[in-house]
Chains A and B, each alone.
Chain A
Amino acid sequence: MSKEIKILALIVLVVAIVAVLGANYYRKAMESAPVIVNKNNNSGKKSSISPETLVRPDSATLGVPDAPVTLVEFLDPECEACAAFSPVVKKILKDYDPKVRLVVRYMPLHPNSLRAATLTEAAGEQGKYWEMQELLFKRHAEWGERHGAPPTAQPQNIDTLFEKYAMELGLDVEKVNDAIRENRYQAKLERDRRDGQTLGVRKTPSFFVNGRMLMRFGEYDLRALIEDELKK
């Protein structure tokens, strides 16, 4: 090996180590403080973001209301990563039951996100919110936009598909169709999107654990943040 290669390799190594340590330090620092300063916090820090921005009373929640940890997920029903990560979220809820509760917020970023979110909310009217969420995630390939996938030969009509899903869950299809037709949840979805932007949500899914933003997406990091909150 020539002298030059050794010098370059050494510099690359040093820079890589510094970058990795810096990344970890930065994420820790960012995660250490909640985006919203709660009232019990007497550190004197001022935040212009109100706590309602994170948890709205009409958002779908899973778990006991007074759980010590509130996990807020900003998701998009048409997002593949959200669909893939959904079983992990459910597993985490089960593992930490009854210490963690989930609050679902919407960050619609795809062509049919709003329609799918409306379908989920309409299913919620009939007590099948979570069933519909799961069904939409599972059948994402049928109705959703896929990254890098070639267009299917015969794209199925989304209205027909959504009606089929409603029927599969034994819902009153007419009521569901009404909700979609009159765009019943437009205001709620718009508000969620605005709240997400205020909180700095740029990707889905994005998670907040008791107001602390998860800086690196993944099961390990999410669990670590939850554990950290439970230790308090």
Chain B
Amino acid sequence: MGNTERIGNQGNANLFEALAYVAWIVALLSTVGSLFFSEVMNFPPCALCWYQRIAVYPLVLIIGAGIVLRDARMKYYALPLCLCGLALAVYHNLLYYGVVSETLAPCSQGVSCTETQIEWFGFVTIPLLSLAAFAVIALCLLFYKPKE
């Protein structure tokens, strides 16, 4: 009985530790993906996209360093940045889907934050990808626990 419990705990501990990898991979893919959109596909990033990039690019390095050092405090370094990105992504989506009026959009730089660049499967847009990425990273970081 005690034995299986320990094995179960062991499995959970592995799972909680693996969450850091999930968060890191999502941050890495967001970084590479956003660069692909702008540098290869030539989509000009809107102002809000830039702010979200500022939040996500450092996460690759911060979470990466946390993984290598097995540092439980990593989440406290990474979460504030991630939550800023999440807030921006929520706002961007509200704007994009017309919940908030476009006249309030802080967009200049020649491209509107509500312009549709991609629409995969009819609903996957760039702002939605960003929101999903920040949400996944935030959840992973919240539940992340390194083994001693």
Q: List 24 A-B contacts (CB under 8 A).
A: A2-B68, A4-B67, A4-B70, A5-B68, A7-B21, A8-B24, A8-B64, A8-B67, A8-B68, A11-B25, A11-B28, A15-B28, A16-B32, A19-B36, A22-B40, A23-B36, A23-B39, A26-B40, A26-B41, A27-B40, A200-B42, A202-B42, A215-B40, A215-B42
| Chain B residues with CB below 8 A from A67, complex form | none
B positions within 8 Å CB-CB of A: 21, 24-25, 28-29, 32, 35-36, 39-42, 44, 64, 67-68, 70
Contacting residues of chain A (1-53) with chain B, CB-CB under 8 angstroms: 2, 4-5, 7-8, 11-12, 15-16, 19, 22-23, 26-27
| Chain B residues with CB below 8 A from A26, complex form | 40-41
Shortest CB-to-CB span from B90 to chain A, Å, is 27
Chain A residue total in the interface (Cβ 8 A): 18
Shortest CB-to-CB span from B146 to chain A, Å, is 10
User: When chains A and B are docked, how far (Å) is the Cα of A23 from the Cα of B33?
Assistant: 11
Shortest CB-to-CB span from B50 to chain A, Å, is 16
User: When chains A and B are docked, how far (Å) is the Cα of A12 from the Cα of B28?
Assistant: 8
| Chain B residues with CB below 8 A from A8, complex form | 24, 64, 67-68
Of chain B, the residue at the smallest CB distance from A109 is B110
Of chain A, the residue at the smallest CB distance from B111 is A202
Of chain A, the residue at the smallest CB distance from B39 is A23
Of chain B, the residue at the smallest CB distance from A200 is B42
Of chain B, the residue at the smallest CB distance from A2 is B68
Known: A11-B28, A15-B32. A23 touches B21 (CB 8 A): no
User: When chains A and B are docked, how far (Å) is the Cα of A57 from the Cα of B41?
Assistant: 31
The 10 closest A-B CB pairs, nearest first, are A23-B40, A4-B68, A19-B32, A4-B67, A26-B40, A5-B68, A8-B64, A15-B32, A15-B28, A2-B68
